[in-house]
Each structure stands twice: as structure tokens, then as C-alpha cells.
Structure 1
Amino acid sequence: MAAETEILTASDINGEPITAGSIVRYINTGTVGRVTEVKKDEEGIWALVDSTGLYYKVETLVITDASELKEETETTETASAAKEYMRRYGSGGSDSVDIGQVTGGG
């Protein structure tokens, strides 16, 4: 049980400390998120990033600032607004395209 409560010393690719709450960027894809957990296993030290729900090896992360975090936007539309959108931009009108003509057969 002592290993579960052990405070880990984790560092990003530049040697900066990573802790829960740190804002990091995954260097391979540019994914940005906040670290929610740091854990250690036989393969190394890992950080759980909230934006993806995935663990990343801390050596593949770089500390960044909060300006890189994308705000989660949540929009609520009424049923009538959704129907209007589909009427204007949805498929099924005379503007339908035969995708076989666009992509070519082959």
C-alpha cells in the first residue's frame, strides 16, 4: 500500500517537473491537456492526460501554458433550429453528388 501513496518525481522532456494539474503537450501529436494522475510501473513513469483519457510516458511530454488548452464548448440547439440547419445544409436535395463520379472507380 505504501507504493500507492508514494509521491513520484516525474519530469518532462526538458527536465521540468510534472505533477497532477500540470498542463502538458504530447510531442508526437501536439495533444494538449491537464495531467490528472502520475503513476509508475515496471515500464516507467506515466501521466494521465484529461483531454484524451490516455497515459503518456512523461519523457514524451513537455510542460506548456494554459493558453494552449482548448475550451470545451457546449452548444444546445432546439429541434426546430436543427431541422432548419438540415433543410439548408443537409443532403437529399437536388445537389446530391454521385460519389462514384468524384472518386473514380477502381
Structure 2
Amino acid sequence: MTALLQGSCICVPSEENRMADLATAMRKFHVTWALFTPSIVTLICPEDVLELNVSVLGGEAVSKANARTWATKKTLIVGYGPSETCVVSSAAIITNPQQNSG
């Protein structure tokens, strides 16, 4: 609801667009902010979604490759949640994907 309260809209592409070419659907809807699972974001190149400013990754572990690819091109927020009922309960903006977290 936050997006709607801020004057944004929620876009849901057709099943065909989601499965065949998500980047094209995102360009069609002029998506600027999106929440993805890391598995899905590997199917999209940052260069194919130039209007996308903020990517939030959650629901699965984020790989170093995901972080490097997206944090260097866009604002990347990694969200963590303990279960399916709370996909994101904490989040952090990734500013240095090269840093080793241990």
C-alpha cells in the first residue's frame, strides 16, 4: 500500500510477459522500483531496464554475483525475513558488493 499512498502504481504483467520477457514488460510499465527473488533477477540485465532505479532482493539468499551485478548499476536493497509469512523484516542498502561479509 505504501506505493499507492505515494502516488505510484502497482504493475502486474501477464503470465505470458512474466515468463517470456520480464524486461520488456518492465519497460512497458516504466518500472522504477521492484522486489525480486534472487533467482528471478538473474534473468534480467540491468542494462535492459534503464528506468529501474531500485531493486529489492528477498525471499532467498543473495549471491555475490547478484550483488555485484545490481549494486554497481542501481540502488540495491537486500531484504531478509525468517519465513514465507514475513519475506522482509529487515533490509540493508548494498553500497560495496566487493566487501567480504565474512
The normalised TM-score by structure 2 is 0.21
Task: Tell me which structure has the larger Cα radius of gyration.
Answer: 1
The normalised TM-score by structure 1 is 0.21
Which structure: greater helix fraction? 2
Which structure: greater strand fraction? 1
